[in-house]
Amino acid sequence: MTDVNELAAAAPIKLTRKDFVNDVEVRWCPGCGDYSILAQTQKVMPEFGVPKENIVFISGIGCSGRLPYYMNTYGFHSIHGRAPTLATGLKIARPELMVWVITGDGDALSIGGNHFLHSMRRNLDFTMIMHNNRIYGLTKGQTSPTSEFGKRTKSTPMGSIDRPMMPLTLAIAAEATLVARTVDTHTEHMQGTLEAAGRHKGASYVEVLQNCNIFNDGAWRDFTDREFRDDRMLVLEDGKPLIFGKNRDKGIRLVGLHPEVVTIGENGITEADLLVHDQHAEDPYLALILSRMFWPEFPVPVGVLREVERPTYSEMADAQIEAAIAKSGKGDLRKALLAGETWTVD
């Protein structure tokens, strides 16, 4: 048994949020969304019942990269974009550990884009939390792969001419087996999402919409602000119709291949006409549609878009080793050294 959650369930231990807090001084800018991500992460950790010595946080470079220093677990602050590669080696060597990859939009999608894709498609059993603030913060304000088209930054004074990436679409295309989105200021929702991702066996990807109040203040304000977030965000619940709005009167239906915002009660529309969320659907079509929906054309979906069961990389690697041993016995070095034809000189 190498699954972290199964191990924890077999021997549950009681920890509290405080067990995951250490005395390292937190050095993010005051007001940064990263504080909330850290706080929710620390809050959720005891829920898994995993001893803290069996938990490893691995990060890349960027403001998000500092998070492992503040977790009272094992931690590795690696190099730009490469955190998934360290997590991959660690999970292959030590499948029983619970591994979290902390990354940002530049770290995961730009310099580390290749590792993002491949670690997801291998279904390595770790959870990647991507802090998405649509800007390069640590280098003080350059365009990122998720920056808006036309965005003026220090490196794009006349506006960015790069099209932004849709991270969730990419994660689904890369065969991640859990794909979710949450928001830094939406603390309870974030806790629930992190818990779902941590419990999932396989490659989990969570995009956290995060504000950078210094270099990109109001990054997601248009739909995350308290006053209108109910009308502009769509909270996904498995098995429930896609309903949103302060008055719970708006919904999403499918016309042909296209989603459409409708109002319940208008033009004869009832709840029965709406798309029903099915995060466990084997095929990715619904999740792909949701991953493309964005403000202002659509409310922004948050929650788990997709969650499917697949054998993990470590399980399959272990199975091959077991099969090899079953076939030819445990490796015998003496025999390996003497393989092929040998002859003796007296």
Partner 1 sequence: MTTTPTAPGRETVELDRVTIRFAGDSGDGMQLTGTQFTRTAAVFGNDVSTFPDYPAEIRAPAGSLPGVSGFQLSFSGSDIHTPGDAPDVLVAMNPAALKTNIVDLPAGGALIVNSDAFTPGNLSKANYAANPLLDGSLKAYKVFPIPVSTLNAAALEGLEMTSKQIDLTKNFFCLGLMFWLYERSMEPTLKWIQQKFGSRPVIAEANKRALTAGYSFGDTTEMFHTTYNVPKAKLAPGTYRNITGNEATAIGFLAAAHCAKRELFYGSYPITPATDVLQYLATYKSFGVRTFQAEDEIAAMGSTIGAAYGGALALTGTSGPGVALKTEAMGLAVMTELPCIIINVQRAGPSTGLPTKVEQADLFQALFGRNGESPMPVVAPATPGECFSMAIEASRIALKYMTPVMYLSDASVGNGAEPWRVPDMSELPDISVPNVVKGEGTFLPYSRDPETLARPWAIPGTPGLEHRIGGLEKLDGLGTVNYDGANHHKMVTLRRAKVDGIAKDIPAQEVYGHEEGDLLIVGWGSTFGAIRSATERLLAGGHNVGHAHVRYLHPFPANLGDVLKRYKTILVPELNLGQLWFVLRGTYLIDAVSYGRVVGKPFRIAEIVTEAERLLAGGR
Contact residues: partner 1, CB under 8 A: 24, 51-56, 58-59, 68-69, 72-79, 82, 84-94, 96-97, 114-115, 117-118, 317, 320-321, 323-325, 327-331, 333-334, 336-346
CB of 303 to partner 1, least distance (A): 30
Inter-CA distances, 3 with 14, 16, 76, 91, 324, Å: 19, 22, 21, 11, 21
CB of 75 to partner 1, least distance (A): 4
Tokens encoding 66: 């500092």
Q: Which is nearer to partner 1, 33 or 81 (CB)?
A: 81
Q: Which is nearer to partner 1, 89 or 218 (CB)?
A: 89
With b for 16 or more beta-carbon neighbours within 10 A and e for fewer, the 200-218 pattern comes to bbbbbbbbbbbbbebbbee
CB of 318 to partner 1, least distance (A): 9
Tokens encoding 227: 């006053």
CB of 18 to partner 1, least distance (A): 14
Q: Which is nearer to partner 1, 50 or 302 (CB)?
A: 50
Q: In angstroms, rounded to a whole number, what is the distance separating the alpha carbons of residues 209 and 297? A: 18
CB of 296 to partner 1, least distance (A): 36
CB of 138 to partner 1, least distance (A): 12
- Angle between helical axes of 83-93 and 113-121 (0-180°, round to 10): 30
Q: In angstroms, rounded to a whole number, what is the distance separating the alpha carbons of residues 104 and 28? A: 14
Nearest to 57 by CA among 108, 65, 49, 196: 65
For the chain, how far is it from start to end, CA to CA, in angstroms?
50
Q: Which is nearer to partner 1, 276 or 325 (CB)?
A: 325
Q: In angstroms, rounded to a whole number, what is the distance separating the alpha carbons of residues 314 and 3? A: 9
Q: Which is nearer to partner 1, 51 or 241 (CB)?
A: 51
Q: How many CB atoms lie within 10 A of CB 226?
A: 8
Tokens encoding 90: 């660690």
CB of 250 to partner 1, least distance (A): 42
Q: Which is nearer to partner 1, 75 or 299 (CB)?
A: 75
Q: Are strands 258-263 and 250-255 parallel, antiparallel or unpaired?
A: antiparallel
Q: Which is nearer to partner 1, 88 or 193 (CB)?
A: 88
CB of 266 to partner 1, least distance (A): 50
The helix (run of H) or strand (run of E) holding residue 77 is: strand 74-77
Q: In angstroms, rounded to a whole number, what is the distance separating the alpha carbons of residues 169 and 31? A: 29
Q: Which is nearer to partner 1, 60 or 251 (CB)?
A: 60
